[in-house]
Amino acid sequence: MGIKKQVNQLEIFKGIDPKTIEKLIKAGTVQDVSKGTLLVRAREPVSMVYFQLTGKSVIYNLTNDGKRKILFIFGSGALLNEHIFNNHTSSTYCETMEKSKVLAFPVLEFVRLMAEDFELTKNIMEAQERKIWRLSHQLKNTTSSIYLERKLAAKLWKLTRDFGVETDKGIEIDVNMTITFLADMLGVPRETTSRVCSTLTEAGLISMNRRRIIIPDPEKMSHFYKTGRIE
């Protein structure tokens, strides 16, 4: 698929001036990226603006003791940058979780087009606002008043909405997740995460098959993470 079709299919570019679309097509490149590629590094200047086309990427930061804390998992159509201005360094890392295609633009050219077309600027601001909204909910779920089981349940329920695939056993999350990966999402030790997963499994809220997690009843999962009760 050529870059013109890729640009035209991204929701974030809907409604902008056709002349801007043509300039984006000229400025952008479609890149094939292998699993585990760091597209953006924390504390390094931002040189490119990236959009996920296929595959998935994870946004994370490092804690003071060097452990990874996962903030977002993004799929097709997502803006992967937290910062898009050249005089800023990134505050987060962006790493591909699987073989991917990304659409990349030189940041200076992209910012220039934002200055020319307010609709493009508006779309980018709305994309970043959605990230802030999601972060605010994550912060609400990190207080000591919520059990780790409910915290993980909330994250897994959200992933069923973003990457869920219907199966005869329930909704399978189309993301490979190990116990270590889940620990990075929760920000707790691996051993603790393993116990949390066992609790959710025994309660019938999840089933685990190798690196895949299935949610048999998303409504039951939603009720649990909101109330802490299994009914």
Asked if the model's pLDDT at residue 2 lies above 90, the reply is no
pLDDT at position 1: 60
Our count of domains for the chain comes to 2
pLDDT in tens, 190-209: 999 999 999 999 999 999 98
C-alpha dihedral, 19 to 121 to 94 to 99, nearest 10°: -30
Q: Are residues 156 and 131 in the same domain?
A: no
Q: Give one DSSP letter per residue of 104-137, joined into a string.
A: EEEHHHHHHHHHH-HHHHHHHHHHHHHHHHHHHH
pLDDT at position 87: 65
Asked if the model's pLDDT at residue 104 lies above 70, the reply is yes
pLDDT at position 139: 65
CA distances (Å), 145 to each of 57, 198, 210, in order?
30, 21, 31
pLDDT at position 134: 80
CATH value at residue 71: 2.60.120.10
Lowest mean pLDDT among 30-39, 64-73, 139-148, 168-177: 139-148
pLDDT at position 155: 93
Averaged pLDDT of the chain? 91
CATH value at residue 166: 1.10.10.10
Structural domain of 108: 3-140
Mean pLDDT of 163-189: 94
Mean pLDDT of 100-113: 95
Q: What is the pTM of this model?
A: 0.82
Task: Give dist(CA 130, CA 161) in Å, integer.
Answer: 15
Domain boundary pick from 87, 117, 140: 140
Q: Are residues 173 and 108 in the same domain?
A: no
pLDDT at position 145: 46
pLDDT at position 141: 57
Task: Give dist(CA 231, CA 188) in Å, integer.
Answer: 27
pLDDT in tens, 79-95: 999 888 766 788 899 99
Q: Are residues 132 and 162 in the same domain?
A: no
pLDDT at position 85: 75
Domain boundary pick from 140, 164, 194: 140
pLDDT at position 140: 61
